[in-house]
Amino acid sequence: MTAVVSEKAAPLVRLTDAGKNYGNIIALRGVNLEVSGGEVTCVLGDNGAGKSTLIKIIAGLHQHTTGSYEVEGTEVRFGSPREALDHGIATVYQDLAVVSLMPVWRNFFLGNEVRKGPRMDIPFMRRTAKKELLDMGIDLRDVDQPIGTLSGGERQCVAISRAVYFGAKVLILDEPTAALGVKQSGVVLRYIIQARERGLGVIFITHNPHHAYPVGDRFLLLKRGQSLGYYRKNEITRDELTALMAGGAELEELSHELEQAGAGSAAAARLLGEEVHDLGIDRIASGETS
């Protein structure tokens, strides 16, 4: 599909033809991706599409086995998440990488504790955590409460504001809206836009095109470890994105499957068929699989 031509300064993160094998299993193959400051790159794909493998490579948890990975124009190969963090690449994982039993402020500074001689500067850390969260719109009664007592959206925002506070240049968000309701998803999307406006590069992993399209500048679609397409916003419409995400041919297959199941399923099958048509999957997806 249309490759995005690289421009002016080197992007913050660029993967070229990157791949990852686990033994003889190919988890990811031939993926191109880039994100610059003030941009949101969305990575879309179903379960098992290779999204997790991709972010683990960028975040330094795994190393790519083929292709190249550049940060600001320099080729890198991270041995640990620490190294990625030192390059300004911060990841907010699905499980948020928070320790539920620990107080909010301890989680906020975990791994980046502010020290005053041999001990931590606890008053400063408490104060800062409270202030940073307030800036994000989370008004906590008590930063000493265990982070496990916060709601999903609040925890998400703690994780995002923590990454921003520690000078992340690139923010990788792993399915931040997956477990959230409509309202809280909206809040998280707002922070993605806020981060973009502050000049951060954001890599937003999701399987929801309705969340990706409004905030994204580029879209990478993954399927079974391969790139299904890489688009700029002006190259694709929301409906086309949705159609590609829905898995085109599979949706049709599902509809046939339901038809065969008997009378009760026929109505459902008809609805699915209509949806396939509405989305224009017959138009786009038919010639898609390589």
Partner 1 sequence: MSSTIETRPAKRHAADERYARRSLTSRLLTRPEIGALIGAIVIYVIFFAVAPPFRQLESLSSVLYVSSTFGIPAVAVALLMIGGEFDLSAGVAVTTSALFASMFSYQLTANMWVGIVVSLVVALAVGFINGYLVVKTGIPSFLVTLGTFFMIRGLNLAITKQVTSNVATNDVSTMDGFGSAQKVFASSFSIGGVSIRITLLWWILFVVVATWVLLRTHVGNWIFAVGGSAPSSRAVGVPVAKVKIGLFMAVGFLAWFTGMHILFAFNTVQSGVGIGNEFIYIVAAVVGGCLLTGGYGSVIGAAIGAFIFGMTNQGIVYAGWNPDWFYFFLGALLLGAILLNSFVRRRAEAMR
- 153 or 209: CB nearest partner 1: 153
Among residues 35, 58, 150, 222, which is the contact residue for partner 1, using CB under 8 A?
A: 150
Site for partner 1 in 102-131 (CB under 8 A): 102, 106, 109-113, 115, 118-120, 122
> Strand 119-120 vs strand 170-174: parallel, antiparallel, or unpaired?
unpaired
User: With the C-alpha atoms ordered 185, 191, 192, 194, is the resulting torsion angle positive or negative?
Assistant: positive
Q: Does 268 bind partner 1 (CB under 8 A)?
A: no
Residue 74's contacts (CB-CB under 8 Å, 6 or more residues apart) are: none
Supply 252's token pair: 């049709």
Cβ count near 262 (within 10 Å) = 8
Q: How many residues bind partner 1 (CB under 8 A)?
A: 43
Beta strand extents in 23-137 (DSSP E only): 25-35, 39-45, 66-71, 74-75, 89-92, 115-116, 119-120
The smaller minimum CB distance to partner 1, of residues 97 and 284, is found at 97
Taking a C-beta distance cutoff of 8 angstroms, is the pair 90, 160 a contact? no
Residue 91 found at the interface with partner 1 (CB under 8 A): yes
Residue 62 CB-half CA count within 13 A: 18
Q: Which of 3, 23, 79, 139 binds partner 1 (CB under 8 A)?
A: 139
- Whose Cβ is closer to partner 1: residue 17's or residue 144's? 144
17 binds partner 1 (CB under 8 A): no
Distances (CA, A) of 258 to 49, 251, 267, 272, 286: 24, 11, 9, 9, 20
Tokens 């948890």 sit at which residue? 61
Which one, 110 or 284, has the nearer CB to partner 1? Answer: 110
Q: Choose which of 7, 141, 262, 263 interacts with partner 1 (CB under 8 A).
A: 141
Closest distance between partner 1 and the C-beta of residue 52, in Å? 13
Site for partner 1, residues 181 to 210, rule: CB under 8 A: 184, 187
Residues 51 and 45: beta-carbon distance below 8 Å: yes
Position 63 contacts partner 1 (CB under 8 A): no
In the complex with partner 1, which residue's Cβ is closer, 91 or 206? 91
Closer of 142 and 257 to partner 1 (Cβ): 142
Cβ-contact 42, 204 below 8 angstroms: yes
Stretch that binds partner 1, among 79-87, 223-231, 266-274, 282-290 (CB under 8 A): 79-87
Residue 61 lies near partner 1 (rule: CB under 8 A)? yes
**Smaller CB separation from partner 1, 171 or 245:** 171
User: At 281, is the secondary structure helix, strand, or coil?
Assistant: helix
Residues that bind partner 1 (CB under 8 A): 59, 61, 80-82, 85, 91, 93, 95-102, 106, 109-113, 115, 118-120, 122, 134, 137-142, 145, 149-151, 153-154, 157, 184, 187
